[in-house]
Amino acid sequence: MLQRCIVDRRVPQALLLTGREGAGTIALALAFARTVNCRTPHLSNHGVAPCEACSSCIQSASLQHTNIKLIMALPAGKADTEEDVADDVLDALRDIIGGVAEDPYTRVRLPNASMIRIGQIREVKRMLSLSAAQEGRRVVIIVNAEEMNVEASNAFLKTLEEPHDDVTIILTTSRPERLLQTIVSRCQELIVPPLSDEIVITTLVERGLCSEDEASLVAPFAEGDIQRAADFVSEDVRTLRASALALLRSALRGKDYRNALSDAAAEIGDERSKAKAEATLSLLAVWLRDAFALALGGPNVRLVNADDRQALEKFAAAFGSADLLSVITVIERAARDIQRNTSITLTLLTAMMDIRVIIARTRVSA
């Protein structure tokens, strides 16, 4: 769709790319910026592509093009623009931009970054009011746009209301509900879907992060997100899965389950790692889907956790008639709560108690 806009010379002035960074929101924004600034683009029946050889493409590839600007949250402190930040933060910013140039699916975040401030938006507005230093189209990419504070959001809204020629502002976000609705309504929104498991597997193997067998185990838990997949690879997936199953088994024990469940939840929560807690919940969700697939489809169904078939068959025989949808909903809600900085231990305890009730209700009705 974006290629058609470029070919037809109907390039939007404001885009909202909704989806995960690891699924390609920033990669898409940068590909767009490179294409609209290419001096000798390749046109075909399928669309348009940058030549990758002109001086503009070379500058774009290293994110040194003056027409391409990335805006991201700054660390907490007095600095209101990039020019005000300390030298070490500026060095970190350069490293991140260099990393994005090499891998547009990488995580884009400064250490201790908290919000996008009004000074940054004012600087964008000032920059756009000046004549462009190079020919082409200026593209401003605001990463994780939901992190604009109230003042920055209001200032940005005014910038959208005063469009400039040959300028496109791109917002990327995984949480569009946190943006002002007036901002969303002034942007053309595109949903960037999760990557397929096949692409995730191929990417992990090509980057030398793991073997194909390991990538095949990780991919279903990554939810189409290259970043998430790489995080899983860096952890011991089987150890995390063991923690998830220990949590589940402790919740389904007899009357003396409370102490065991508290210990299992505390063991995960004590690490104070949101990423590990979310990974544990994701692994649990996929394991449970396998168990219910066995219960419904029999022994010939394809399993993600094929190496744990015996435990899955035992669980399916005991709890296969439980309300899977309600169980998965509980797990997904717990993962969202952890993202919002709730207590990991308390969130896990609450979720597992809810799952215990759901499964107990099913057994009673049976």
Q: How would DSSP label each residue in 286-318?
A: HHHHHHHHHHHH-TTS--TTGGGHHHHHHHHHH
> Has residue 238 got a pLDDT over 90?
no
Q: Residue 354 and residue 338: Cα distance in Å, rounded?
A: 16
Task: Please state, rounded to an integer, the average pLDDT across all residues of the chain.
Answer: 89
∠ CA 73-78-82, rounded to 5° = 45
Most confident of 56-60, 72-76, 323-327: 56-60
What pTM, to 2 d.p., does this model score?
Answer: 0.74
pLDDT tens readout for residues 158-207: 999 888 889 999 999 998 999 999 999 999 999 999 999 999 999 999 98
Euclidean distance between CA atoms 53 and 219, whole angstroms? 34
Give phi and psi for 83, each to the nearest 5: -70, -20
| Average pLDDT value for residue range 42-51 | 90
pLDDT at site 339: 79
Residue corresponding to tokens 């002034």? 186
1 within 8 A of 31, measured Cβ to Cβ: no
- Asked if residue 324 lies in contact with residue 294, where contact means CB atoms within 8 angstroms, the answer is no
Amino acid 172 reads T
Answer yes or no: are the C-beta atoms of 50 and 88 closer than 8 Å.
no
Q: Which residues contact 54 (CB under 8 A, 6 or more apart)?
A: 38, 39, 40
